[in-house]
Copies of this chain bind each other. A is one copy, B any other.
């Protein structure tokens, strides 16, 4: 088996968080909301109000960014401390501001989404060719959400639609289908990123209610992804939207194996109840889902690692993510155990390049497969 050094190769990092300060977004918002914010403040629930996070405001300790006073201050920081350092050929910005996905006032949430998206396009995507962006949508109102996708979905820097994992209903349900129509219209994956579980209008984070500690909360995030995955499959979303791809971000990956084993088994016994589900659930998983790696989980015994990677079809379905600049950042250098060369290439580059339609930019001059 051939192994290779990650150092010499460029990577695609599918989960980088930018910074969009609220005061910066204000200028992209209609006057009525600027005035409301000035009078009443931002009427958005806060993730941070619930749990101790791992780092200072969720970030790495050495990520306390000191502004250099320019508009590009954070962008320059990101270039130097992450894109250059790790040879990131493409970095997918997954935004911030997921609070909109837990807000009660849908019209306000929609305005914040648009401001956030415009801010990212102008301040990041138009200034740094390595970056790509995500469309934040007011998922509470799928028709408004589809309008936002139609508004900017053809911008060349925009490569996916993004929502929080915390939800009022599992994402396969018909309520959301106008969003998938718009995703398919613009050929954009629908991406679920952990956040806002049990916050604001969303359901408590577990099927047993609210939890106490941040560790429980982190575990609950994978459970909600499981519910979304089963919902997409058993609502028949992929029969209705055969080109739709769904990305699951930041909830781990190894849980997928027992889930699809269970779903396949139950589908065999109970498929007469859902005749629109034509293929085994594991097939829908392989064809329609992509999963990002961070925070990567490793089995207790390392000899289980490769069999588990195979069980989740990592070679086709897994994409590297760093979650920069958050405290549980996975470095492309150290996050994974040694991988066979072909699998490394798929996970750190090719799977994302294919999903998002990113052309290979650099000729690889350094390094060879060992």
How big is the A interface, by class?
35 or more
A102: min CB distance to chain B, Å = 13
Contact residues in B for A216 (Cβ distance below 8 Å) = 170, 227, 230-231, 234
Contact residues in B for A265 (Cβ distance below 8 Å) = 295, 297-298
**Do A214 and B270 touch (CB < 8 A)?**
yes
Asked if A332 is an interface residue, CB under 8 A from chain B, the answer is no
Contact residues in B for A209 (Cβ distance below 8 Å) = 167-170, 203
**Number of identical monomers bound together in the oligomeric complex:** 2
- Picked from B198, B212, B264, the residue with its CB within 8 Å of the CB of A207 is B198
Contact residues in B for A200 (Cβ distance below 8 Å) = none
Digit string of A292-327 for contact with B (CB within 8 Å is 1, else 0)?
A: 000101111101100100110000000000000000
Q: Given known contacts A203-B207, A209-B203, is B168 in contact with A215 (CB within 8 Å)?
A: no
Question: Of all chain B residues, which has the CB nearest A167?
Answer: B208
Enumerate the 10 nearest inter-chain pairs by beta-carbon distance, A residue then B residue, closest first: A206-B227, A207-B224, A223-B223, A254-B258, A170-B208, A255-B258, A167-B208, A216-B230, A208-B227, A203-B209
Residues of A within 8 A of B (CB): 52, 54, 166-173, 197-198, 203-216, 218-220, 222-224, 226-228, 230-231, 234-235, 252, 254-255, 257-267, 269-270, 273-274, 282, 295, 297-301, 303-304, 307, 310-311, 328
